[in-house]
Structure 1
Amino acid sequence: MKYNHTTYAILGILTTGCRTGYAIKQLMDQSLNHFWKISYGQIYPTLKQIVKEGLATVDTLSEEGKPSRKEYYLTTKGKQTLKDWLQKPVEQVPVEKNEILLKLFFSRHQSNTNALSLINNYREKLEENYQTYQNIEQMIANQQQNQADAKYWLFTLDYGKRVTKAAIEWCHATTTQMNKG
């Protein structure tokens, strides 16, 4: 059976030791959201579907004085489903939706000053993202708590850093050209 990417992402997250919806959301916020967006509202319905499909089991834990919590564990079928998906080639190169490119495409309808301001603002956001990636990289390097996953996390982080650096360079080149007239 073919599942959506959110299902595969959550199956993958369950391999990292995250067991609860809250822990899954935290991992997504700290890492996956830099390259794969999953809304918080998708987590619990997906977990419910994963259990229904036999890809994971759920244990409800009760602690005195605290609300019960559900912990999810991949089944053999869930691990195999993830492995099968991982081994399939990427179906298509993702098409990026980029607001700055959309605005720049139609920028003859605004002042050059305003267009330059948009690009500079975009560059500043990219530089903030780049700094965030460097901080995450340092955190992974310092903690190395999950060494089996760490090198793969660093590969995805390196991709983000390279793409961001290229976009920053594009901002500089584009503003230089726009300033020439």
Structure 2
Amino acid sequence: MIEQQGKPNKKEYYITDNGRSKLKEWIEDEKPSEPIFRDEFIIKIYSSWLSGPETTITLLKERQHFTEELEKLKNDQDADFTDYQKGYSSRYYLLSRRLAIINIELEWTDRLLKSLLAQMTGSANK
């Protein structure tokens, strides 16, 4: 058990020697399957023509809030990036990928919101 300040304590798990061997074998010998992306938010945005711009704006603002919260978590994780220097490069790779995705999501929702709001106020260029 790892005690933490301001957060619930967390359990720490370890991989067995047999598990480590199987994992290494899997990483080295098996080709990864094609990624499957299931994002209910994207499906709702795609189908939002049924509901109108107000619903789309609400969905975008909710996603924007969610991604902003994830961005705040980045600040908490900054210390963890030092793990890269301790030999935990795979953790660094995953964290940096996730942060890049969050930044793209924030930029995209911001552009789409601005466009929809401009259309609703009649100030969009046609």
Contact 1:130 1:161 in 2 (8 A): yes
* Number of equivalent positions: 108
- Which ranges of 4 or more aligned residues in structure 1 deviate by more than 3 Å? none
| Residues 132 and 179 of structure 1, relative CA distance in 2, 3 Å threshold | same
Compute the displacement of 1:176 (Å).
2.4
Within the candidate set 117, 134, 139, 2:79 is matched to: 139
Residue 89 (structure 1) aligned with residue 34 (structure 2): no
Structure 1 unaligned segments of length 5 or more: list them: 1-21, 25-71
Q: What letter is aligned with 1:139?
A: A
Answer 1 or 2: higher relative contact order, Cα 8 Å, separation at least 6.
Answer: 2
Equivalent residue runs for 1:155-174 within 5 Å: 155-174=93-112
Residue 153 (structure 1) aligned with residue 91 (structure 2): yes
Compute the displacement of 1:133 (Å).
2.5
Compute the displacement of 1:125 (Å).
0.6
Contact 1:133 1:160 in 2 (8 A): no
* Partner of residue 12, structure 2: 23
* Partner of residue 11, structure 1: none
CA distance in 2, matches of 1:141, 1:164: 17
* Deviation digits for residues 99-144 of structure 1 (CA, Å, limit 9, x no counterpart): 22111112122231221011011111101112212321x22146x4
Q: CA RMSD in A?
A: 2.3
Q: What TM-score, normalized to structure 2?
A: 0.72
Contact 1:116 1:178 in 2 (8 A): yes
Give identity over the alignment, percent.
Answer: 14
* Deviation digits for residues 29-79 of structure 1 (CA, Å, limit 9, x no counterpart): xxxxxxxxxxxxxxxxxxxxxxxxxxxxxxxxxxxxxxxxxxx6623x432
Q: What TM-score, normalized to structure 1?
A: 0.52
Bigger share in strand: 1
Structure 2 unaligned segments of length 5 or more: list them: 1-10, 120-126
Equivalent residue runs for 1:1-181 within 5 Å: 22-24=11-13, 74-75=16-17, 77-87=18-28, 88-92=30-34, 94-136=35-77, 138-141=78-81, 144=83, 147-149=86-88, 151-181=89-119
